[in-house]
Structure 1
Amino acid sequence: MKFLRKILFPVVPIYYLVTWLRNTLYDLGIKKSVAYDFPVLAVGNLSVGGTGKSPMVEYLITLLQEKTQLAILSRGYKRKTKGFRLVDVLSEAKDVGDEPLQFKRKFPNVYVGVDENRRNGITNLRTLHPKPDVILLDDAYQHRKVKAGLYMLLTAYYDLYCNDIVLPTGNLREPRQGANRADVIVVTKCPVRITDQEKNRLQKKLRIKSHQSLFFTTINYGKELIGVSGKRSLETFKNRTFTLVTGIANPKSLLDYYRSYGLLFTHLNFADHHEFTTPELKMLENAETIITTEKDYMRLVDTISHNNLWYQPITIQFIGDKEGFNSRIFKYVENNL
């Protein structure tokens, strides 16, 4: 795969030009974006994945759900359906996508919708009763047909967008200057003990603009796994071998954590949002114990019969100035309601 990306380097200037031209047309108003008179927040990244978007969306849901009538809108990546669908706790990942289903099952009182056409999705969500007054767009940074009121851009500490180039050789969906559209930039997956000097270095390296706010987060791994038969302490999996299944963009942080915890496992690594084949599902059914990510669990729990299937919960933790972040979000929402 790395070799293929290298030989495709001549395509990089073409991809760069096409995405740059598209953004320029939107920036100049030649291509039209639709803005709204209520709060619309967009969370996304420049890279193709691995920035910790899902736990950030869940943090925002927790932050806003008590004070607003909140709705989440996603395209429902890799679902087998088209058009607008309102996600239910009984929905299946194949119909609505794994991440939207994860959000709905964790936050059942929040509207979750999927639509590849975000304008259409917003219109449909606003017909619900009670009507949502805040809409959170999941993975919509490049969806320029909708103009969000606040853009949040995530970038992983070990894989900063400023060190990357566009597809197909790099991992960026658009040129680095696309970061200028962001109102809030969050460096995710940071070392817990990141210093103020390192934060200042990153601020200069990312060329943070005067209108932008920069924050830093790290990952918290829950000490209890959740599965079909309840909860179980991660400690109980020590001194026994299990199968770790990951279908995410970058499992490095999870692997490092489990190894540092002294866990013994066989790692089955699949592509992000991997659609498991029948032979793969049969193989997994024969595994004694399976631990996976929450996103992968949403795809597996309804497709295999396994009494020892667990997922690793994760949350984000701000490293300094959590209140500054919360205040920035609340201020935007309150000023636009």
Structure 2
Amino acid sequence: MINLLRKILFPFSILYGFITSIRNFLFDKGILKSHTFDLPIIAVGNLSVGGTGKTPQIEYLIRLLSSKYKVATLSRGYKRKSEGFVLADANSNAAVLGDEPFQFYQKFPNIQIAVDANRKNGIEQLLSQPSKPEVILLDDAYQHRKVKAGFYVLLTSYGDIYADDFMLPTGNLRESRSGSKRANIIIVTKCPENLSIEEQNKIRIRLKLNSNQELYFSYIDYDEFIYSESKSIKVDEIKNADKLLLAGIAKPEPFFAYLQSNNDEKLVFPDHHHFSENDLVNIKDKAQNKLIITTEKDYVRLKNSVLKEQLYYLPIKSSFLSDSDNFDKTILNYVGTSTRNR
């Protein structure tokens, strides 16, 4: 039924694609103004809606850069209850920042975490702080062309690459495939760990890269432990135990597959779901005395709830199938060169 509806809506995809192409043309020609800033800015995003692994990729860049530079992240703060520019501090929570920025703040307390739907204003506010960042990472800002980043990292999911997709509402693309040409680096995310060189080359051909673009393949690397507020347990020790698996992310299937045994119960919620009191009561009733294991993104919204005594999360990170040294070198060269030129 959904596929039929998408086919019926194909004319609207053509219209939407035309509108976004005109917008990009106006930015490309300088008719619509893009603002630039005198420091290295890396934008991480995608052409499609949701589920390409932006959060673990931002965390990878934080780990790479934060030992050498003063790093800040700037996100929209999707579904937060605050407005305007907010700089994370000790009073912040997921409701104020949004779940992903609050996750950054919990994991990387020594960098600046900010949210603002207006990226230009957000960058200006960060640069007005007493301790100015030396590098800014823009989260989910590939289509935010009112700011021109110095470097673009485009993500596309294995098995759902943009070269095979269509514009909304028929497909999942926010803009046409030609938007990929703005990227300096393209990463095919969520690959199988054993993806062959032959298959990688086939994908490379389908993506039709420009000669100046670099292509990498990454996979989701799951932690060997699950964590609560006060303890950790090896995944091997709970694999066959009865438990409730809970996820409110775009594509939860790999998370479930990594943890699930035959007797486990799964609860799936929409991406960035706001858990109501009724949700929490229902989850607790279903779990009884079992462990509740959720994603790291969901955990930051649930850790102070009635579930906290039995609640654990599974961390993930982005890892490259190969050539991670080349990726690191490209990023560090861009940031180092931009910093010296300031």
Q: Same fold (TM over 0.5)?
A: yes
SS in 2 for 1:203: helix
Q: Does 1:196 align with 2:193?
A: no
State whether residues 153 and 182 of structure 1, in contact with CA within 8 Å, keep that contact through their aligned partners in structure 2.
yes
SS in 2 for 1:11: helix
Instruction: Provide the residue aligned with 1:270 in structure 2.
Output: 269
Residue 304 and residue 169 in structure 1: after superposition, are their counterparts in 2 closer, same or farther (change >3 A)?
A: farther
For residues 236-260 of structure 1, the C-alpha deviation after alignment (integer angstroms, 9 at most, x for no partner) is 223322111111111122233234x
SS in 2 for 1:311: strand
Large movers: runs of 4+ above 4 Å: none
SS in 2 for 1:131: coil
Instruction: Provide the residue aligned with 1:101 in structure 2.
Output: 102
Residue 276 and residue 7 in structure 1: after superposition, are their counterparts in 2 closer, same or farther (change >3 A)?
A: farther
* Mapped partners of 1:127, 1:264: distance in 2: 54
Question: In the alignment, residue 298 of structure 1 is paired with which amino acid?
Answer: V
Instruction: Provide the residue aligned with 1:12 in structure 2.
Output: 13
Matches within 5 A, 1:322-333: 322-333=324-335
State whether residues 302 and 308 of structure 2, in contact with CA within 8 Å, keep that contact through their aligned partners in structure 1.
no
SS in 2 for 1:142: coil
State whether residues 89 and 104 of structure 1, in contact with CA within 8 Å, keep that contact through their aligned partners in structure 2.
no
* Mapped partners of 2:264, 2:90: distance in 1: 31
Deviation at 1:264, TM superposition (A): 4.0
Unmatched runs of 5 consecutive residues or more in structure 2? none
For the aligned residue pairs, the C-alpha RMSD in angstroms reads 1.5
State whether residues 237 and 263 of structure 1, in contact with CA within 8 Å, keep that contact through their aligned partners in structure 2.
no
Matches within 5 A, 1:24-43: 24-43=25-44
Using the size of structure 2 for normalisation, the TM-score is 0.94
Instruction: Provide the residue aligned with 2:163 in structure 1.
Output: 162
State whether residues 89 and 105 of structure 1, in contact with CA within 8 Å, keep that contact through their aligned partners in structure 2.
no
Q: Does 1:180 align with 2:185?
A: no
Residue 302 and residue 24 in structure 1: after superposition, are their counterparts in 2 closer, same or farther (change >3 A)?
A: farther
Question: In the alignment, residue 299 of structure 2 is paired with which amino acid?
Answer: Y
SS in 2 for 1:137: strand
Instruction: Provide the residue aligned with 2:280 in structure 1.
Output: 281
For residues 50-101 of structure 1, the C-alpha deviation after alignment (integer angstroms, 9 at most, x for no partner) is 1111111001000000100110000100111110001125412111100000
State whether residues 75 and 114 of structure 2, in contact with CA within 8 Å, keep that contact through their aligned partners in structure 1.
yes
For residues 268-300 of structure 1, the C-alpha deviation after alignment (integer angstroms, 9 at most, x for no partner) is 111111112221121123323211111111111
State whether residues 229 and 307 of structure 1, in contact with CA within 8 Å, keep that contact through their aligned partners in structure 2.
no
Residue 177 and residue 37 in structure 1: after superposition, are their counterparts in 2 closer, same or farther (change >3 A)?
A: same
State whether residues 188 and 216 of structure 2, in contact with CA within 8 Å, keep that contact through their aligned partners in structure 1.
yes
Question: In the alignment, residue 326 of structure 2 is paired with which amino acid?
Answer: G
Instruction: Provide the residue aligned with 2:301 in structure 1.
Output: 299
* Mapped partners of 1:6, 1:289: distance in 2: 42
Instruction: Provide the residue aligned with 2:70 in structure 1.
Output: 69
State whether residues 280 and 307 of structure 2, in contact with CA within 8 Å, keep that contact through their aligned partners in structure 1.
no
* Mapped partners of 1:6, 1:256: distance in 2: 31
* Higher alpha-carbon deviation: 171-180 or 195-204: 195-204
SS in 1 for 2:319: strand
Deviation at 1:22, TM superposition (A): 1.0
* Mapped partners of 1:21, 1:272: distance in 2: 30
Deviation at 1:196, TM superposition (A): 1.6
Query: How many equivalent residue pairs?
Result: 335
Instruction: Provide the residue aligned with 2:124 in structure 1.
Output: 123
State whether residues 285 and 305 of structure 1, in contact with CA within 8 Å, keep that contact through their aligned partners in structure 2.
yes
SS in 2 for 1:249: coil
Unmatched runs of 5 consecutive residues or more in structure 1? none
Residue 299 and residue 255 in structure 1: after superposition, are their counterparts in 2 closer, same or farther (change >3 A)?
A: same
Question: In the alignment, residue 279 of structure 2 is paired with which amino acid?
Answer: E
* Mapped partners of 1:122, 1:44: distance in 2: 17
Instruction: Provide the residue aligned with 1:212 in structure 2.
Output: 213
Matches within 5 A, 1:80-159: 80-159=81-160
* Mapped partners of 2:304, 2:123: distance in 1: 29
SS in 1 for 2:64: helix
Deviation at 1:228, TM superposition (A): 2.4
For residues 85-144 of structure 1, the C-alpha deviation after alignment (integer angstroms, 9 at most, x for no partner) is 011254121111000000010000010000000011001111223211110001100100
Using the size of structure 1 for normalisation, the TM-score is 0.95
Deviation at 1:39, TM superposition (A): 0.1
* Mapped partners of 1:162, 1:38: distance in 2: 32
* Mapped partners of 1:267, 1:208: distance in 2: 40
Residue 304 and residue 120 in structure 1: after superposition, are their counterparts in 2 closer, same or farther (change >3 A)?
A: farther
